Amino acid sequence: MKQKLLLIGLIFFLIFTRFSALDTLPPFLTHDEVVYGVVAQSFAVQGTTLTQDQTWYSLRPVHPFYAEFPALLMTPFFWLTDNPLLAIRIPTALMGVTFPFVFGWFCWGVWRNKTLAWVAVVVAAVNPLWWQFSRLSYDAVYSTFFYFLGGAIFFSNTKRGFLWSIPIFALGFFQYQGFKLLLVPWIALLTLVWFLQHQKVSVRARLIPLLSSLVLLSVYIFFMLPQQHVEGRLEGTLLQDQSILSEIVDDQRRKALQSPISPLFANKFTALVQLSADRLLSSFSPHMLFLNSEPSASGFAVWSHGLFYLVDIALLLLGIGALQQKKTRAIGVSFLLALPFVAAPVIINLTSEWYLLRSFFAYTLMLLVISWGALVCWQSRFRWLVVVVYTLSVLNFASQYFIRYPVMGADAGFFSERVLTQYIAWVRQAYPDEPITVYTIDPPILLSSYLLHSQSLSAETVDQIAQTFRERTYLFDNITFKDACVDDDDETTLGITEAIRDRCRSLSDLSADVHKITIPALKDSGSVYEILNDHICSRYTLGTFIQVANLQQFRLHDMSEEAFCRQWITDLKKVT
């Protein structure tokens, strides 16, 4: 009875932390979510992409930077709800609820230790990384979920049950471009582990998933990849672009005395080793893992907290020690040595030092080691001390996520874009025919965001939307999204521009007589977007700064026009 109550409590915790205020927290859609979401909405409405050149079953990504299947998995939820934030995030929220049990099942398959399996379930359930990313729809989460689910099925004891892992692995393969590299190494590792478990049993049948993955990878490389026009993405990786290695070598030789031995220690190979080691060690930086995440590149994450708890440092060390025991050494060392290899997406990427998503699979694999450390603590006389420390750690992260993160995450995320699209919706409701021009560096993203939040994608509008995306005019419903500088001579058209544009003059630089209001940042109420020739919010008394008191204020679709304007629009002219 006690165990059943604990299980019910764990399930309740998972449902609450993954689904509570899901349409409000995070209060924005990231650009990846917008791209996948608008494609999923298009699939739900017309069965094709926005440009009407790909069907839902075409197995082609809408863009080389995005994968084939995430939008397809979101599609059914656009039939269930009109709220795009819910429709986009329900799939990963469901994964967040079920993944701890998948992870525990995987641990059971590898070590056949029931206590370890349940400890792993708890560790994965409260892990900060999976907690927050279960509430976002990033493709790395999809891929990792299916790779581990396939791994759990792979260790099935039934004669043919393990074969069901093949389609699950294939699902994971088409979820995230970066993790396509991991399919074969991951299944090879699982095959090795199974062999170490069953040294006296023939492994030929267990080679079928590995051979299937090699076939799938070959088909993808030789037949599917050439049709996807991914040259631009490959140019940002070591697989195709090695110019950065030449730059490193040239710099090293230029800053050294001429010597016949210089080529031995300053060449492309040594540069490759140095660059790879730098990326690898940075991705496993203790500061990022246990103290602060990536504020510069991952605004959607709680960067004031690590991806793991501080107490996980001790559990990680204990886990490494536990895996060195005679009974667990071979399999444990195999998983430990695999960590650098599953970080390959970080090592080969040259575009940015962005570790969180590219190392998501590797970080999840670290939970295996932490689970072993937690098991050691659970079997010691200090178990309740560890439980208390872990509980306090969970409560601390919960307070940061539900109280601090809504505000600081909205600023670093894309909440201002959501405010912008809601503002345009109010303008369009009051003035159906008024021309609106939005000056932005990324017109297709803002138009897609507007289509999502305004529910403008319908059977009546799909042809018009397809045409504007194909022609790249980004004009819809008399709203033009353009990558240009604001026309400050236009005194009639409602114009909205990004406040900070390197090559454009801010509206703040215009004449003091120009009537402008702003969409501000939450952190300091500085301008993010500036609005010229407004006729909606200017009717109300606007403040000079904004302050968020509760999550309800992020429910923009539930606010009246006046409440929206007073809460999210400011008039900085009053400051001067």
Q: How many CB atoms lie within 10 A of CB 514?
A: 15
Determine contact, residues 542/566, Cβ cutoff 8 Å.
Answer: yes
pLDDT given for residue 509 in this prediction: 54
pLDDT given for residue 15 in this prediction: 97
- CA torsion angle for 147, 149, 153, 155 (degrees, to 10)? 70
For residue 506, which amino acid is it? S
**Cβ contacts of 92 within 8 Å, gap of 6 or more:** 133, 134, 135, 136, 137, 138, 141, 142
Angle made by CA atoms 280, 283, 289, in degrees to the nearest 5 = 140
The string of DSSP codes covering 190-247 is: HHHHHHHH-TTS--TTTHHHHHHHHHHHHHIIIIIGGGTT-HHHHTTBTTT--HHHHH
Give the three-state DSSP class for 570.
Answer: strand
pLDDT given for residue 298 in this prediction: 53
Give CA separation, 290 vs 313, 316, 337, 500, in Å: 7, 11, 21, 34
pLDDT given for residue 170 in this prediction: 96
Q: Residue 456 pairs with which residues in a beta bridge?
A: none
**Pick from 441, 408, 407, 440: nearest CA to 424:** 440
pTM for the model: 0.92
Determine contact, residues 73/95, Cβ cutoff 8 Å.
Answer: no
Query: With DSSP H G I counted as helix, E B as strand and the rest as coil, what are the percentages for the chain, rounded to 5?
Result: 60, 5, 35
Q: Residue 570 pairs with which residues in a beta bridge?
A: 518, 543
| DSSP secondary structure letter of residue 333 | H
pLDDT given for residue 299 in this prediction: 52
Determine contact, residues 96/15, Cβ cutoff 8 Å.
Answer: no
| DSSP secondary structure letter of residue 482 | E
Determine contact, residues 530/539, Cβ cutoff 8 Å.
Answer: no
Residues in the chain where the model's pLDDT stays below 70: 200-202, 228-242, 294-301, 350-353, 412-413, 487-492, 500-514, 574-576
Q: Residue 518 pairs with which residues in a beta bridge?
A: 530, 570
Q: Residue 498 pairs with which residues in a beta bridge?
A: 529
pLDDT given for residue 113 in this prediction: 94
C-alpha span between 478 and 96 (Å, rounded): 41
| C-alpha dihedral sign at 169, 175, 177, 179 | negative
